[in-house]
Amino acid sequence: MFGDQHRAQALSVNGDPNVRTPHVDNLAEMGVNFTHALSGFPLCCPFRGSLVTGRYPHHCVPGHEYPLPDGQPTLAQPFKENGYQTAYFGKWHLGGHHERDYRGANFIVPPAKRGGFDTWVGYENNNSQYDCWVHGGAGKDAFHYRLPGYETDELTNLLIKYIKERGEEAKRPGAKPFFAALSVQPPHNPYQAPAGDRIEYQQGQLTLRPNVPRGGEVEATARRDLAGYYAMIGNLDFNLGRVRQALREAALEFNTHLIFFSDHGDMHGSHGMYLKTNPYEESIRVPFVIGGEMPAAYGGRRRGRVPALLNHVDIAPTTLGLCGIKKPSWMEGVDLSHHRINKPAAQAEPDSAYLQQVVPTGHPNSINKPYRGVVTRDGWKYVCFANQSWLLFNLNEDPYELANQAHNNRYRAERKKLIDRTRQWIADTGDKFEVPED
């Protein structure tokens, strides 16, 4: 289950004083909370391409409104090959539709571009939470209709119906296990939530992050947007609770892994910026929690906060690994499922995570220029434009990124080491980008 533009900091379990997320908090308490998960390309389409394929954006979906390549397998294929039923509900954004042509809610994703899922009920893009249209099927069985209420509630209804059907099926001999994904657009802008969820969020009472400029338009915009944003997160949390209840009622709670995450974050005025596409913490850090009960055959479960660097390309192989399925050779990410279930690591974890903006979007209020960089396991971040260092932060000492040391020669040795590591990532992933010499 994942939302859109939900930054990692915006959970009560992760220390945000403005929001209450009891269901996510409980999932994290009983499971594992990847506190250093991130979106290596913080934008909807590239992230989603990496999410379903385990491949880096420059090999898959390099920019906004680019389609999933023809013939590209997704994680649905290895699940199906191992006897699973597969389903996808909600926002897809991998069909290649351009919003400038007409609204994405009216675009029908061709069946061949729906990732190979057995059940697919979704939409390309929407950005209108009370006017959400979904489609699916093909030929005489095709359908396209408007959901009757608020998007997150209604898409959750579709997943709950699917869970109930799997629960009934599980009572019969020969029932198959299932993999299902629920993708909702909230808390993506516009920051609109049901009235009951908005009541408790007063703009003037919100605690802003220290890197939001005070006293002007940026602060006013951040407070207004965040009031709706937190209300949307509260609604998302409520619907997570509904999914967990449905699993209990279907007697599927004790053999279902449940993953909660997001595609990227949201700046909300930090460093004077909004939305996404840049490598600052508010944009790249995402929630990532694995919970749910497991049968004894898995040898027990692990709990707690996990500092491993989990990048977008790691989600597909990790999801497969939770179910004992080896990642296929075409996936480039790392299986980190051993942090949840008692088993040896499938491979060594990298010492850093690779950051990219391959193809700029043209969106305002953020960074519209290609960049590459790294976040290291020991807490350093480095980002460069072509042949030009841009950002260098020691996140251990400067978590809000207030002191950019990219051109401070006191940090020249560290900068050189991080440039070399970025260059190695470029080579190792078959990317192309000119980094500075030092």
Do 21 and 153 fall within a single domain? Answer: yes
Do 414 and 322 fall within a single domain? Answer: no
| Average of per-residue pLDDT across 326-347 | 94
Distances in whole angstroms, Cα of residue 312 to Cα of each of 233, 285, 286, 437: 21, 11, 10, 28
Q: Is the pLDDT of residue 198 over 80?
A: no
User: In whole angstroms, what is the distance from residue 150 CA to residue 132 CA?
Assistant: 8
Do 74 and 191 fall within a single domain? Answer: yes
Q: Is the pLDDT of residue 40 over 80?
A: yes
Residue 341 per-residue DSSP state:
B
**Is the Cβ–Cβ distance between 334 and 309 less than 8 Å?**
no
Q: Tokens 């590459």 — which residue? A: 372
**Mean residue pLDDT across the chain:** 95
SS3 per residue for 240-302:
HHHHHHHHHHCCCHHHCCEEEEECCCCCCCHHHCCCCCCCCHHHHECCEEEECCCCHHHCCEC
Distances in whole angstroms, Cα of residue 17 to Cα of each of 197, 198, 222, 231: 17, 16, 16, 13
Which of 346, 378, 413 terminates a domain? The answer is: 346
Q: Is 363 part of a structural domain of the chain?
A: no
**Is the Cβ–Cβ distance between 11 and 19 less than 8 Å?**
yes
Amino acid 295: pLDDT: 55
Do 189 and 313 fall within a single domain? Answer: yes
Q: Is the pLDDT of residue 255 over 90?
A: no
Do 154 and 38 fall within a single domain? Answer: yes
The values of phi and psi at residue 382, to 5°, are -135, 135
Amino acid 399: pLDDT: 98
Confidence of residue 299 (pLDDT cuts 50, 70, 90): low
Q: How many domains does the chain have?
A: 2
Q: Is the pLDDT of residue 206 over 90?
A: yes
Amino acid 102: pLDDT: 76
Q: Is 263 part of a structural domain of the chain?
A: yes
Question: What pTM did the predictor assign?
Answer: 0.96
User: In whole angstroms, what is the distance from residue 421 CA to residue 415 CA?
Assistant: 10
Select from 277, 278, 181, 266 the least CA-distant residue to 232.
Answer: 266
Q: How many CB atoms lie within 10 A of CB 53?
A: 27
| Average of per-residue pLDDT across 375-384 | 98
What are the pLDDT digits (tens) for 82-114? 999 999 999 999 999 998 777 878 899 999 999
Do 333 and 379 fall within a single domain? Answer: no
3-class SS of residue 196: helix
Do 324 and 384 fall within a single domain? Answer: no
Amino acid 203: pLDDT: 81
The values of phi and psi at residue 429, to 5°, are -100, 0
Percent of the chain with pLDDT over 90: 89
Which of 346, 378, 407 terminates a domain? The answer is: 346
Do 137 and 175 fall within a single domain? Answer: yes
The values of phi and psi at residue 237, to 5°, are -60, -45
SS3 per residue for 400-437:
CCCCCCCCCHHHHHHHHHHHHHHHHHHHHCCCCCCCCC
Do 256 and 377 fall within a single domain? Answer: no
User: In whole angstroms, what is the distance from residue 381 CA to residue 91 CA?
Assistant: 31
How large is the angle between the packed helices 217-249 and 151-170, nearest 10 degrees?
A: 20
User: In whole angstroms, what is the distance from residue 271 CA to residue 287 CA?
Assistant: 21
Do 265 and 412 fall within a single domain? Answer: no
The DSSP bridge partners found for residue 181 are 88
Q: Tokens 């251990």 — which residue? A: 396
Q: Which domain does 392 fall in, by range?
A: 370-428
| Average of per-residue pLDDT across 408-415 | 97
Do 187 and 295 fall within a single domain? Answer: yes
Distances in whole angstroms, Cα of residue 343 to Cα of each of 258, 300, 329: 18, 9, 21
Which of 280, 313, 346 terminates a domain? The answer is: 346
Residue 371: left if φ>0, alpha if ψ -120 to 50, beta else—which one?
A: beta
| Average of per-residue pLDDT across 332-337 | 98
